[in-house]
């Protein structure tokens, strides 16, 4: 099988993701990272009334400059009386503007003279936040399929909403494979062993999407046990994500078991890291067989499995932003696959440079943990220092 370009593989894989219709109502405090099941519109204006943007004095702009009597005190949360003609109201940030006032003058610009205050000229409307400046009744606040971030949750709360309808979380089974793997916390490593890191990074990546992990544990490199476990989790999960065992070695049994117990639709992508990714189904349940090298598992999850999971759950897949940054390194030899290089960013504006974080081996996690982003290098391309690159921030992966 020849290598499939990422864009082509994504198109084929995403075409199989039919959205999940189930919804549930959650409190806003439990909504972070969840995907909205319906658009939400505002039923009130924000702010609900004209209010002061500053601490100072509310006046009729026609009465200033001049020295005015202070006729009332209007702190935030109070209901001010109409402004008596020719007077000023002492006012604080967030307090409603008394009717009759049309400007606020900063307290720093006022001079107090016992119960009177000397004020400079004011423009009508100055330092007043108008009713509905932020939100008008009927405005759409969030869209169906949108992922909820902290700022969206705050926006919903600002119109008095405390629960929201989101798509029900997918159940995603995670299985790792490898005789060499030992679980963190289970004691020191014996000869030949390493700790199972993919189980944790993949679980974290899935949880960050608001989805539920069905923990399938780690399996030995044994075809029967792997195949049986895949069939078992296929019943309980909407999707299976495995790590390891999809390459061409004699101990790589995951791909074989996908073929044996289901069907393999895509295998081997023209990307680096992550070439041996396999996609198919077992007992009708879609499966992403990710490569075992930790950076390959992380990157292929982010590039391929994540958009599928989002769409399947009902979310809208937003392409990761790519920012132009100049290379602070050279890549003299062109590759045959699309490459995702781990980079840190230094400097600002025109002087910003992307530097390789160190070893680009797919087994090296430190250079992923240190990275600010990945630079995307097209196949057949060389890079000279100062060339423009496209960098995807790691936070968007």
Which parts of this chain interact with ligand AMP (CB under 6 A)? 176, 178, 180-181, 194, 196-199, 243-245, 247, 249, 252, 291-294, 363
194-195 and 163-167 beta bridge pairing: unpaired
Of the candidate spans 24-32, 243-251, 294-302, 319-327, the one that interacts with Mg ion by CB under 5 A turns out to be: 243-251
Give the binding range for Mg ion (CB under 5 A) out of 23-31, 37-45, 174-182, 354-362: 174-182
Residue of this chain nearest to ligand AMP (CB atom): 292
**In the bound complex, what is the minimum distance in angstroms from residue 266's beta carbon to ligand AMP?**
16
Binder among 169, 178, 286, 328 for Mg ion (CB under 5 A): 178
| Partner interacting with residue 176 (select from Mg ion, ligand AMP, none; CB below 5-8 Å by kind) | ligand AMP
Residue 286 interacts with which of ligand AMP, Mg ion, none, CB < 5 to 8 Å by class: none
d(CA 270, CA 4): 5
The minimum distance between CB 76 and ligand AMP, in angstroms, equals 54
Q: How many helices (H) and strands (E) does the chain have?
A: 8, 26
Minimum distance of ligand AMP from residue 246's CB (angstroms): 6
Give yes or no for residue 294 binding Mg ion (CB under 5 A): no
From residue 264, give the alpha-carbon distance in Å to each of 68, 246, 268, 305, 395: 82, 11, 11, 15, 31
Segment interacting with Mg ion, rule: CB under 5 A, options 42-50, 115-123, 170-178, 196-204 = 170-178
CB of 92 to ligand AMP, least distance (A): 57
DSSP structure string for 274-332: -TT-EEEEETTEEEEEE-SSHHHHHHHIIIIIHHHHHHHHTPPPPPPP-EEEEESS-B-
Which two structure tokens, joined as six digits, stand for 192?
A: 């030949």
Residue 98 binds which entry of Mg ion, ligand AMP, none, CB below 5-8 Å type-dependent: none
What radius of gyration do the chain's Cα atoms show? 29
Query: How is residue 192 annotated by DSSP?
Result: T
User: What is the closest distance, in whole angstroms, from the C-beta atom of residue 252 to ligand AMP in the complex?
Assistant: 6
**Could you tell me the two tokens for 156?**
């919903």
Residue 381: phi and psi, rounded to 5, are -105, 140
289 is a contact residue toward Mg ion (CB under 5 A)? no
Q: Is 244 in the site for Mg ion (CB under 5 A)?
A: yes
Q: Is the peptide bond before 166 cis (omega within 30 degrees of 0)?
A: no
Angle at 363 between CA 292 and CA 367, to 5 degrees: 130
State the residues that interact with Mg ion by CB under 5 A.
178, 244, 292
């Amino acid at each position: 099988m020849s290598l499939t370009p990422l864009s082509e593989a994504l198109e084929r894989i995403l075409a199989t993701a039919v959205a999940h219709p189930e919804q549930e109502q959650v409190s806003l405090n439990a909504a972070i990272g969840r995907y909205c099941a319906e658009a939400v519109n505002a039923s009130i204006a924000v702010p609900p009334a004209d209010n002061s943007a500053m601490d100072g004095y509310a006046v009729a702009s026609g009465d200033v400059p001049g020295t005015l009597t202070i006729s009332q005190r209007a702190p935030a949360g109070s209901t001010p009386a109409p402004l008596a003609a020719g007077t000023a109201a002492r006012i604080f940030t967030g307090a409603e503007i008394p009717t009759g006032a049309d400007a606020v003058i900063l307290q720093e610009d006022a001079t107090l003279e016992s119960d009177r205050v000397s004020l400079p000229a004011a423009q009508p409307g100055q330092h007043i936040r108008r009713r509905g400046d932020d939100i008008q009744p009927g405005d759409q606040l969030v869209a169906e399929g949108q992922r909820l971030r902290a700022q969206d949750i705050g926006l919903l709360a600002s119109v008095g909403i405390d629960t929201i309808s989101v798509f029900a979380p997918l159940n995603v089974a995670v299985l790792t494979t490898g005789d060499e793997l030992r679980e963190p916390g289970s004691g020191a490593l014996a000869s030949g062993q390493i700790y199972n890191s993919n189980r944790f990074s993949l679980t974290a990546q899935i949880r960050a999407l608001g989805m539920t992990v069905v923990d399938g544990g780690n399996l030995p490199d044994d075809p029967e046990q792997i195949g049986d476990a895949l069939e078992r989790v296929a019943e309980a999960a909407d999707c299976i994500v495995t790590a390891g065992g999809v390459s061409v070695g004699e101990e790589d049994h995951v791909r074989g078991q996908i073929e044996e117990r289901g069907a393999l639709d895509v295998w081997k992508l023209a990307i680096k890291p992550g070439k041996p990714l396999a996609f198919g189904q077992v007992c009708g349940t879609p499966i992403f067989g990710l490569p075992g090298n930790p950076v390959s598992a992380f990157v292929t999850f982010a590039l391929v499995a994540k958009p599928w999971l989002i769409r399947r759950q009902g979310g809208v897949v937003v392409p990761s932003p790519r920012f132009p940054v100049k290379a602070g390194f050279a890549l003299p030899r062109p590759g045959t696959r699309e490459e995702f290089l781990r980079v840190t960013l230094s400097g600002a504006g025109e002087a910003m440079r992307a530097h390789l974080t160190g070893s680009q081996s797919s087994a090296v996690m430190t250079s992923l943990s240190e990275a600010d982003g990945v630079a995307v290098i097209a196949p057949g391309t060389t890079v000279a220092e100062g060339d423009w690159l496209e960098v995807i921030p790691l936070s968007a992966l």
